[in-house]
Amino acid sequence: MSQKTIQVEVSLLGKTHQFACTEGQESALLDAAALLNSTVEEMKQRSSIRNEHNALLMAALHLCHDIQAQKTAHQGLIDKLSSHITSSEK
């Protein structure tokens, strides 16, 4: 059974864009856009970047860095739990 795709209107950097989205995921897409917008504004406030394109790139890099850090932390927890499970099985 294929999922229905719908069009969602999203505001990024003050401009409206249409994105395809799986039905039921609209709020996740809108939340992601809100996070990106707020991160772009944060980058503009924290640095001398005023160009929206550069601020958008910096925000994307910042968010990707956060994702990588979370993945590393998550893997560390998995390794620690696996170690505990292995040592308790002995």
- For residue 83, which amino acid is it? S
Q: Identify which has the larger pLDDT, 90 or 64.
A: 64
Q: Identify which has the larger pLDDT, 32 or 47.
A: 32
Dist. CA 84–CA 57, nearest whole Å: 41
Average pLDDT, integer, range 21-27: 95
Q: What is the pLDDT of residue 1?
A: 56
Secondary structure element (H or E) that encloses residue 25, with its range: none
pTM of the model: 0.76
Cross-strand bridge partners of residue 19: 8
Quick one: what percent of the chain has pLDDT higher than 90? 68
> Both tokens of residue 1?
């059974």
Q: What is the pLDDT of residue 86?
A: 84
Gyration radius (Cα) of the chain, Å: 19
> Both tokens of residue 72?
């590393």
Average pLDDT, integer, range 54-73: 94
